[in-house]
Amino acid sequence: MNAGITITGSNFEQEVLKSSIPVLIDFWAPWCGPCRMVGPFIDQIADEYAGRVAVGKVNVDEESELAQQHSIVSIPALVLYKDGQIVGQRTGAAPKRDIEAMIKDYA
């Protein structure tokens, strides 16, 4: 199973802003219960949309500066980028169908 790309401050520009396909970023933390609920859906989407949508994960404990740049105050938070611009966001646990609805117009 594809767990997505680990996004860090050092690879953000290359993996997200310069990506030729949309990128869904999951801001999460290992201690976050709702994040653990959404995680398997994110992994499934990474597999099912491979080649059409890239999936990245940002551990907010390890990448607090990146989380601050995105004004992340609650997790899980999903941010969708296309052509280097934010085109969608949502906060909180969501069923897989809601996450797919967020990306369907861009996949």
- State the chain's mean pLDDT as an integer: 94
Active site residue 69: no
Tell me the percentage of the chain whose pLDDT exceeds 90.
Answer: 95
Residue spans of beta strands (DSSP E) within the chain:
5-6, 23-28, 54-59, 77-82, 85-91
Q: Which is catalytic among the residues 7, 24, 25, 35?
A: 35
Q: What is the dihedral of CA 45, 2, 47, 94, to 10 degrees?
A: -10
Does the pLDDT at position 1 exceed 70?
Answer: no
**Taking the chain, what is the end-to-end CA distance rounded to the nearest angstrom?**
19
Q: Which is catalytic among the residues 32, 75, 78, 80?
A: 32
Write the pLDDT tens digit of every residue in 44-69: 999 999 999 999 999 999 999 999 99
Average of per-residue pLDDT across 17-34: 96
What six digits make up the tokens of 106? 């861009």
Which residues are bridge partners to 55 per DSSP?
A: 24
Active site residue 35: yes
**Which residue type sits at 102?**
M
* pTM recorded for the entire structure: 0.93
pLDDT at residue 2, as a whole number:
52
Domain 5-103's class? Answer: alpha beta
Distance (Å, whole) CA 57 – CA 59: 6
pLDDT at residue 61, as a whole number:
97
Domain ranges of the chain: 5-103
